[in-house]
Amino acid sequence: MSIEISVIAPFYNEEENVMEFCQRTLAIMNSMQLRFELLLVDDGSKDNTLLVIEKLAATHENIRFISFTRNFGHQLALFAGISAAQGQHLILMDGDLQDPPELIPKLYHQLQKGYDVVYAKRNSRSGESALKKTTANLFYRILNRITRFSIPVDTGDFRIFNRQVADELMKMQDHSKFLRGQMAWLGFRESAMSFDREKRKNGTTGFSYSRMFRFAFDGITGFSDFPLKFASYSGIVVSLLSFVLIIYVLVAKYLLGQTITGWASLMVTILFLGGIQLLSIGIIGEYISRINDKVRNRQLYVVKKTNTTPTSLQ
Ligand code: UDP
Ligand code: MG
């Protein structure tokens, strides 16, 4: 009999949360009375997360784990889980108990109604700063503007999807993974389910603002060329403006006999142009660094220890 559900959760320095996560998830999965596996991915934790995971795996036959040599990031941890999962349905959720395991049966039943993906949409997000919420909101609105498909607002990676979606996801050769965008890009039938996101149980977030910024750029560069076009459009606009200005200066000098003086206007022009140029170079740089990643074509992550069959990885 094949496995019906694989629950995949990444852990980065979550020694205080792993145990409760497994207890609550195992309880709810057992109550569903179907074959399941719990795939715990240790993303190079520096604390005792792996130790706790190994202990749990030794006593529960449904628990499988993958442990990275170092911290490769949340998206790759999820991707490693997807690659190793054997279930007909896959669930992605955070390991810090912000995504309640008790929602799993509801997600599963909703999927049975004929959807390929059911994602959990955040009604409220407790314990997160106003700045994080506003920047996240703004980011998704911008992303939806500049891509041709829509990525659901107020959702993370907490979702269930079927085997077909998982197989297609694994065919996507993107080096910078942005799973929620990739899934939207695939275009399968999606449905949303609302929930109240809880506070992180213990520990602190593994996402600094610089990591979030990088993640946001992965999303944008992975799915849109708009920033590159912005660079060329702003080049055209500035060139046109400067052309008009040149004519104005020439007319003023030779026909009207006035010379335009002014340190202020010079500074403004130089700074404005410098700003646009640096911004454009930065934008190009973001794309080039991802091309560079792709050209190097390294393995996405390195597994140090696992009790899944190594052949099922990557
Ligand atoms: N996580 C991970 N690798 C990282 C950062 C985070 O595997 O480099 C895990 C983390 O343990 C948690 C989930 O990803 O289970 C979500 O991370 P976090 O709670 O830090 O993000 P937030 O909820 O603040 O967006
Ligand atoms: Mg969290």
| Residue 116 Cβ contacting ligand 1 at under 6 Å | no
Q: Please give the pLDDT value at position 174.
A: 93
Query: Are 61 and 145 spatial neighbours (Cβ–Cβ below 8 Å)?
Result: no
Share of the chain above pLDDT 90, in %: 69
Query: Are 143 and 220 spatial neighbours (Cβ–Cβ below 8 Å)?
Result: yes
| Rounded distance from Cα 11 to ligand 1 centre (Å) | 7
Query: Are 68 and 77 spatial neighbours (Cβ–Cβ below 8 Å)?
Result: yes
56-113 pLDDT, tens digit each: 999 999 999 999 999 999 999 999 999 999 999 999 999 999 999 999 999 999 999 9
Of the pLDDT bands very low, low, confident and very high (cuts 50, 70, 90), residue 182 is very high
Round the average pLDDT of the chain to a whole number and report it: 92
- Map out the domains of the chain as residue ranges: 5-224+299-312, 226-296
| Residue 289 Cβ contacting ligand 1 at under 6 Å | no
258-314 pLDDT, tens digit each: 877 788 888 888 999 999 999 999 999 999 999 999 999 999 999 999 998 754 455
| Rounded distance from Cα 250 to ligand 1 centre (Å) | 60
Among the ranges given (4-13, 186-195, 262-271, 290-299), the one the predictor scored with the smallest mean pLDDT: 262-271
CATH topology of domain 5-224+299-312: Spore Coat Polysaccharide Biosynthesis Protein SpsA; Chain A (3.90.550)
| Residue 44 Cβ contacting ligand 1 at under 6 Å | no
List the structure tokens of 215.
């993640």
Task: With a cut of 80, say whether residue 1 has pLDDT above it.
Answer: no
| Rounded distance from Cα 288 to ligand 2 centre (Å) | 30
